Amino acid sequence: MFKLNGTVFMPSVLTLVGIPGLESVQFWIGIPFCAMYITALFGNSLLLVVIKSERSLHEPMYLFLAMLGATDIALSTCILPKMLGIFWFHLPDIYFDACLFQMWLIHTFQSIESGILLAMALDRYVAICDPLRHGIIFTHQLLTQIGVAVILRAALLVAPCLILIKCRLKHYWTAVVSHSYCEHMAIVKLAAEDIRINKIYGLFVAFTILGFDIIFITLSYIRIFITVFNLPQRESRLKAFNTCISTKLYCDVDVIVVLIVPNRRLRQRNVK
């Protein structure tokens, strides 16, 4: 790495600041982050064990929850250990290539989560709007195909972000990243060259994945709510809402195990 006209040519090492302006209290900020990380690991691991060991939970809704739990573990593991290393052990340096790899992993897992949420919304749409065909449509083979497609879509669409940075951007104003982890725009903004193509592609990926998924998730739940409100019996509407709400709550709460028991009992009552 050497400097030319005030710029750095291909820095081999980047420095992650952490939380700008709060460097003096980052040690204490790391405590709740660590607690949340441990909770996420424990809750999602318990979820995976329960779903794997309980054959009655080998259904699309719970298998999608297992996929989401595994992705959540991977995503948090990509971010939190390095972040805590910065907060607690003053280890801000990261190799440039390692930073790009972390960036790719983070955005890939975020995109995978978005794709799984879309698949969950479509699963609930078919289960409520066309329940007689749900078992025929959402087979284990289809679930496998959905999982592979979601992973490939995320990995292949995010990969060019890494390639564009590595191949196009050679000179950087600084090697200091004002962030706690390696994020696409945080790295791109360090460059002393034209970054319009990188910005445009980043927005393209965001709209293609997140925008597309949000639109179809919204449409699915609108159609679900219309169908539920048109059900003649109040008890049927409550059961349908319980199924949808329990799926949606996982997006906000990592400890989803508390949702398994009520849904399992509801299913047993339906069988009876």
Count the Cβ atoms, other than its own, within 10 Å of residue 80: 21
The predicted pLDDT at position 5 comes to: 59
Which backbone phi and psi does 171 adopt, to 5 degrees?
A: -115, 140
Q: What confidence category does residue 63 fall into, taking pLDDT thresholds of 50, 70 and 90?
A: very high
Which backbone phi and psi does 208 adopt, to 5 degrees?
A: -65, -40
Mean pLDDT of 146-152: 96
Least confident of 130-134, 168-172, 261-265: 261-265
Count the Cβ atoms, other than its own, within 10 Å of residue 254: 21
pLDDT value at 221 more than 50: yes
pLDDT tens digit sequence for 162-198: 999 999 998 899 999 999 999 999 999 999 989 999 9
The b-or-e profile of 101-121 (16+ CB within 10 A means b, else e) is ebbbbbbbbbbbbbbbbbbbb
The predicted pLDDT at position 254 comes to: 40
The predicted pLDDT at position 271 comes to: 39
| Domain 8-257 fold | Rhopdopsin 7-helix transmembrane proteins (1.20.1070)
Mean pLDDT of 68-81: 94
Joined together, the tokens standing for residue 127 give 């289960």
pLDDT value at 39 more than 70: yes
Report how many helices (DSSP H) and strands (DSSP E) the chain contains, helices first.
Answer: 10, 6
Q: What confidence category does residue 230 fall into, taking pLDDT thresholds of 50, 70 and 90?
A: confident
Count the Cβ atoms, other than its own, within 10 Å of residue 191: 17
Amino acid at 81: P
pLDDT value at 255 more than 80: no
pTM, entire model: 0.85
Mean pLDDT of 222-226: 82
Count the Cβ atoms, other than its own, within 10 Å of residue 67: 23
Tell which wins on pLDDT, 23 or 119: 119
Q: Note whether 51 and 58 are within 8 A (CB).
A: yes
The predicted pLDDT at position 244 comes to: 57
Q: Note whether 87 and 30 are within 8 A (CB).
A: yes
The predicted pLDDT at position 198 comes to: 95
The predicted pLDDT at position 250 comes to: 47
Mean pLDDT of 206-221: 90
Least confident of 47-56, 70-79, 231-240, 256-265: 256-265
Count the Cβ atoms, other than its own, within 10 Å of residue 147: 17
Alpha carbons 5 and 52: distance in angstroms, whole number = 58
Helix (H, G, I), strand (E, B), or coil: what is residue 14? strand
Amino acid at 35: A
The predicted pLDDT at position 261 comes to: 36
* Mean of the per-residue pLDDT values of the chain: 84
Cβ neighbors of 135 (< 8 A, separation 6 or more) are none
Percent of the chain's residues with pLDDT above 70? 82
Amino acid at 15: T
The predicted pLDDT at position 151 comes to: 96
pLDDT value at 268 more than 50: no
